Structure 1
C-alpha cells in the first residue's frame, strides 16, 4: 500500500517515456559522455532521486542514513518510522472502515499463509516432547522402565527426528536453488503429509515394534520439516523484495517483519498443540487429566492430535500447488539468467564460501549455539515443576506450565517482528542481547541451583525460566532464521540457509545426547557458555543487514561474479552492513557514495537500452512474420498495426518513437 506521494512519483516514472535518462556527474555533465551543453530536466532529477535515493534511506541532502552523524541518524530514523507508522495506520483504518474483517484477512494472507508450513511442523515436532510424559505414564514398562522396549529405540525417537530434519534442510535447500522455491514448498508439504499418515496409522506387533515404527515415521516427517526452513525463509524474503529492478519501500522497511511473522507461526503451532492435547486427554480420559492413564485414552489422544495437522497439511499441498504462483521463482530465475546458469549454480556456491566464509561461520555457528540453548531451556521446566509438585503423578501441570511458557515465547516472537527492522536496533543487536540475557538466566541458577530450586525460591527460578524463553525468541531464534537467508545471494540462498539450519540441528543433537549423560548441575554449568559463544560469534562474524536494500546486495554480487569486486562502491559494503571480520579485512574500503551514484545511473542507462533493443527486436520479428504470411505487403502492414494494439506486448507501439541506440552503453557490464 503506497503512500499518495509515492504513487504519484511512480506514475511520473511510468510516463517518463522512451527518451533515455541523462545521468549527471558532479560538474553537471553526463558521464561517460561529458556533454556540458545538455542539462538534466527537473523531472529527470526527481526521477533519479526517487529511484536511486528513496526518502526512507536517504535524507533530503541525499546522504545515506548510515553516513549521518549519530544524532542526525537517530532523528532521521525516528522521522521515517513515524511517517511509516502513520501511513500504515491510515491504511489499516481505511481498510477497517471499508470492511471490519479486512485487516484479519490481510494478516492471514501476508503472515499466516506464508508461515503455515512452519506452524504445522511446530505443532507436530513439539507434540513429540509433549506426548512423551503421557507415554511414560500409560506405557511405563516400555517408555519408562524399558522392560519390554529397547532403550536405544526409545532414545532414537529424538535422534532420528533431528537427523531427518538435518537431511531435509540440506537436501531441500539444494533442490530449492536447483529446481525452484515453489517445487520445494510443494515437496515439503507432501512429505509432511505422508509422515503424518505414518504417525497416525503406525503400529507394531509389540510395543517395541510400535516404537520403531514411530521413530522412523518421525525421521520421514522430519525431512519435510527440514525443508520448510530454507523454503519458507527464501520465499518469504524474495516475495518481500519484489520482482522489479528497483526495490520496494515494503522490502526496505518491512522485509524482516514479513519473514519473522511467518516464522512465528511455529510458536502458534506449539500453542495449539498443547491446547489440543489437553482437550483431547480430557475428552478421552473421562473429563479428568489425572493419573492413572489408560492405554486406550493415550492412543486416542496422540493419534487424533496427529490427525488434525494432517488435514491442514493436505490443504497446504493444494494451496501451494494451485495458488502459489510461478512468480515465486522469479528472483531465482533472474539470478540464474544474469549468471548464465541453467541448472544448479555451482560456481556461485564456491564463490559464496570464498567471499562469504565469515558469514557462514556466523549463521551456522550462532544457530548451533541457539539450538543448544533452545533445548537447554527445557531442563528448567522439569526442575521447577518437580519442586512445585513433588511426587506428582499427573501430566497436566507440566502441560499447563508449558502452555504459559509458549504464551511468553509468543510475546518474544511478536516483539522481535516489530523491532527487527528498526535501524537503531535491528537484527544484530537483537541477537546479541538475546544470547547475553539467556546466558545470565542460566548462569545465575547454575551457581546457586539448590537455593533457586527450593520451595521458598521457586518463583524466582520460574521467572528466570519464562524470561529465558522470552529472550530466546526475542533474539537468536528469530534472527538466526532471518539472517541465514538474508546475508547470501539469491542463487545459493536456500542452500546456505539449509546448511546453517542443519548445523543448528547438530546443536540440538548435541543437547539431546549430552543431557542423557550430564547431571542437572552439570547442565547448568555447561549450557550458559553456549550463549556466551553465540554473543562472540555474532559480534565478530555477523553482518547487520538492517536497513540494507537487498537488491543492492545482489548488485554487489553481480560485480563479484564478474570478478570485479573492487569496482563496487555501494552501500552493501558500507561498514554499518559488514561484520567486524569483514571490516578488518578491508571489504569496506572501496565504499564511495558519489562514485556509486554515477555507476548506478550508467547501469540504468544500460538496462534501458537493453530493454528498448528487445522491444525493437520483438516488433521487427512480428513485422517479418506478417510480411511472410502474405504477398500483399501494404494490406498486411495495415492489418499488423491494427492487431498490434490488441497485443499486451505491442499495444501503443505503432505510434512510439524509438530513439537511436547510438551512444548508449553499459560500461560497467552489470
Structure 2
C-alpha cells in the first residue's frame, strides 16, 4: 500500500491543493502578526538614543546624555527575554489546546502591551525605564507565541509543492515590519522637527531636546498595536488546521468538514482509518522514541537558530552604534535629539530596503527550487564572508570617504541572513516534527534563537563600548571594540554553517507526514526503533 493510500483523504487534499485564495488569506493573517512582531522588536533600537537625550541629559553638561549600558541593555533586551518565554509557553499550549485557540491570545497581548509601552509615565527616569521594560517584557511574551503558532498554522494549511514559499512569505513580513519601523520613525522625527524646531539660541546638543520629543518615542511604540488590531477578526475566523484536528484531537468529522469549506470540495470522513493511523503514536517529547527519531533534528534546528540570532540581532539592534563608529552618522553632540533620531532611522530604513527585504523575498521565490538546506548553507557562508570583509580592514572603512563601501558590505550581511538562515531556521522546524509536537518543537527551536539574540544584544552592547580614555574616566568599562565583535559574529556564522551541514534535513517536496515519520509509524514500529530514523523519509544531505 502506497503512502497516499495510507494517508487521510483530507491531508492528501491539502498536500495536492492548487494555490487558492485561502492560502493568500492565511499568509496575510499570519504574516501581519510577523509584521507587528518585527516592528515592535526593532523599533526600540531607533529611539534608545532619544530616551538617553530626554531622561539622562544633565542640563549643566555640554554633551548630550545617553542611556547607561545596563539600562540600554535592559531596554533593548527585555522584549527578547519575554519572547523566549512566550515561544516556549505558547508553543506547548498550541499543541495542547490547538493552534487557533491560542492564536488570538498572543495578538491581544501584543495590542495591550504596545499601547501600555507608550504610556510608561512616572516621576523619575529610572521608574520610566522600569515601567517601559515591564510592558516590553509582556509585549515580547505575546510576540513569542506568534512564532510557533504562525509557522505551524501556515505549514499545516499549505500544499506540498509550495509550502516553503508560503511559510517564507509569512516570515518575510518581518522585513516589512522592520522597514515600517524605520519609515514611521523618519516621518515622526521629521514632522516633530518641523513643528517644534529647537530654539536658535541653544548652542549645544544637550540643550536642543525640545519637550515635545517625549511624544515621539511613545507614539512610535504605540503604533505597533495598529496592524495587530486590524487582523484580530480574521484570526478568529480561521478554522483549526486539519492536521491538528485529525492527528492530535482525533476528530475526523470536524477536520473533513472544516477543510471541505476551505477547499470547496467534498472530503470523505474516515473515522476508522484515522484510528488506525493514530494508534500507538502518542510518544512524548522526552521519550526515547522521540530522541531516536528527532533528537538530532531538534538539536540542529535549535543550534542553528541560536547561532544566526546571535549575529542577526546584534546587527539589527546596534546598527546605530556601528554607523556612528565609522562616522556615517555624525557624533551626537553635533545634532539635536530629533535630528539624531531622523538620521538613525534613515540609515536603518536604507539597510532594510536594500538588504533586508530583498533577502526575505529571494527566499520566498527560490526556497522550493533550491531547497532549505542549500539556502541555509549559502546564507551562513555569505554572512561569514561579508563580516570578515568588514572586520579585517575595519580601520580602513572608518576613514573618510570609505563609509559607503562599508554600508554596502554591511547590507550584504543582512541580505544573506534573510536569503539564508534567518528565514530557513523559521521554516524547517515547522515541517519536520510530528503534528502533536510540532508547535512545541518549533517553540523550543525559536526560544533557542532568542537565547542567542539575548546573548548577542547584551554582549554586543558591552563589547562595542568606546575604548577611549574619556569614557573610561566617566565610569564606562571599555569593550573589545566593534571590529573584534564582528570577528566573533563571523565565527558564530561559520559554526552555524557546520551545524547545518551535520544536523539539518532537507524537507523540499515532501509531505509533513513523510518528514515527521507519521506516514511510516506502523512500519517503523514493526521493524523496531533502530530503523525509525531511516524509515521516516528524512533525507540527510
Partner of 2:223: 308
Partner of 1:111: 27
Q: Which has the larger radius of gyration?
A: 1
* Cα distance in 2 for residues equivalent to 1:140 and 1:519: 24
Match for residue 129 of structure 2 among 182, 199, 211: 211
* Cα distance in 1 for residues equivalent to 2:536 and 2:447: 28
Aligned in 2, Cα 1:561/1:184: closer, same or farther, shift over 3 Å?
Answer: farther
* Cα distance in 1 for residues equivalent to 2:65 and 2:223: 32
Asked whether 1:352 is paired with 2:290, we answer yes
* Cα distance in 2 for residues equivalent to 1:561 and 1:199: 51
Partner of 2:409: 464
Partner of 1:404: 350
* Cα distance in 1 for residues equivalent to 2:208 and 2:443: 40
Partner of 1:328: 241
Aligned in 2, Cα 1:339/1:312: closer, same or farther, shift over 3 Å?
Answer: farther
Kindly indicate whether the alpha-carbon contact (under 8 Å) linking 1:282 and 1:289 is maintained by their aligned counterparts in 2. no
Partner of 2:191: 283
Aligned in 2, Cα 1:335/1:398: closer, same or farther, shift over 3 Å?
Answer: same
Aligned in 2, Cα 1:147/1:470: closer, same or farther, shift over 3 Å?
Answer: closer
1:345-384, aligned counterparts within 5 Å?
Answer: 347=284, 349-350=286-287, 351-378=289-316, 382-384=321-323
Kindly indicate whether the alpha-carbon contact (under 8 Å) linking 2:380 and 2:493 is maintained by their aligned counterparts in 1. yes
Kindly indicate whether the alpha-carbon contact (under 8 Å) linking 1:180 and 1:329 is maintained by their aligned counterparts in 2. no
CA shift at 1:356, angstroms?
1.1
CA shift at 1:146, angstroms?
11
CA shift at 1:112, angstroms?
2.0
Kindly indicate whether the alpha-carbon contact (under 8 Å) linking 1:131 and 1:302 is maintained by their aligned counterparts in 2. yes
Asked whether 1:298 is paired with 2:298, we answer no
CA shift at 1:315, angstroms?
3.4
1:105-504, aligned counterparts within 5 Å?
Answer: 109-141=25-57, 152-240=70-158, 251-287=159-195, 294=209, 296-321=211-236, 323-325=237-239, 327-328=240-241, 330-337=243-250, 347=284, 349-350=286-287, 351-378=289-316, 382-385=321-324, 386-391=326-331, 392-393=334-335, 394-395=339-340, 396-407=342-353, 408-422=355-369, 425-504=370-449
CA shift at 1:541, angstroms?
0.4
Asked whether 1:558 is paired with 2:521, we answer yes
**TM-score normalized by structure 2?**
0.78
**TM-score normalized by structure 1?**
0.64
* Cα distance in 1 for residues equivalent to 2:533 and 2:101: 34
Kindly indicate whether the alpha-carbon contact (under 8 Å) linking 2:48 and 2:72 is maintained by their aligned counterparts in 1. no
**What's the Cα RMSD here?**
3.5
* Cα distance in 2 for residues equivalent to 1:231 and 1:153: 32
2:111 alignment partner, SS class = helix
CA shift at 1:443, angstroms?
1.1
* Cα distance in 2 for residues equivalent to 1:148 and 1:398: 15
Asked whether 1:541 is paired with 2:479, we answer no
* Cα distance in 2 for residues equivalent to 1:311 and 1:457: 40
Kindly indicate whether the alpha-carbon contact (under 8 Å) linking 1:556 and 1:565 is maintained by their aligned counterparts in 2. no
* Cα distance in 2 for residues equivalent to 1:167 and 1:557: 34
* Cα distance in 1 for residues equivalent to 2:455 and 2:482: 16
Partner of 1:530: 492
* Cα distance in 2 for residues equivalent to 1:329 and 1:402: 41
* Cα distance in 2 for residues equivalent to 1:255 and 1:537: 24
CA shift at 1:113, angstroms?
1.9
Aligned in 2, Cα 1:177/1:460: closer, same or farther, shift over 3 Å?
Answer: same
Aligned in 2, Cα 1:198/1:464: closer, same or farther, shift over 3 Å?
Answer: same
CA shift at 1:500, angstroms?
0.6
Deviation track 1:464-504 (CA, whole Å, cap 9, x = no partner) reads 10111111100001000001211111110010000011111
* Cα distance in 2 for residues equivalent to 1:381 and 1:300: 21
Aligned in 2, Cα 1:539/1:283: closer, same or farther, shift over 3 Å?
Answer: same
Kindly indicate whether the alpha-carbon contact (under 8 Å) linking 2:430 and 2:438 is maintained by their aligned counterparts in 1. yes
CA shift at 1:138, angstroms?
3.2
Aligned in 2, Cα 1:387/1:112: closer, same or farther, shift over 3 Å?
Answer: same
* Cα distance in 1 for residues equivalent to 2:197 and 2:314: 27
* Cα distance in 2 for residues equivalent to 1:122 and 1:348: 30
* Cα distance in 2 for residues equivalent to 1:570 and 1:458: 51
User: Which segments of 5 or more consecutive residues in structure 1 lack a partner in the other structure?
Assistant: 1-22, 25-46, 58-83, 92-104, 241-250, 581-670
CA shift at 1:416, angstroms?
0.3
2:368 alignment partner, SS class = coil
Partner of 1:11: none
Number of residue equivalences: 471
Aligned in 2, Cα 1:477/1:151: closer, same or farther, shift over 3 Å?
Answer: closer
Q: Bigger shift: 117-126 or 515-524?
A: 515-524
* Cα distance in 2 for residues equivalent to 1:117 and 1:504: 18
Kindly indicate whether the alpha-carbon contact (under 8 Å) linking 1:369 and 1:534 is maintained by their aligned counterparts in 2. yes
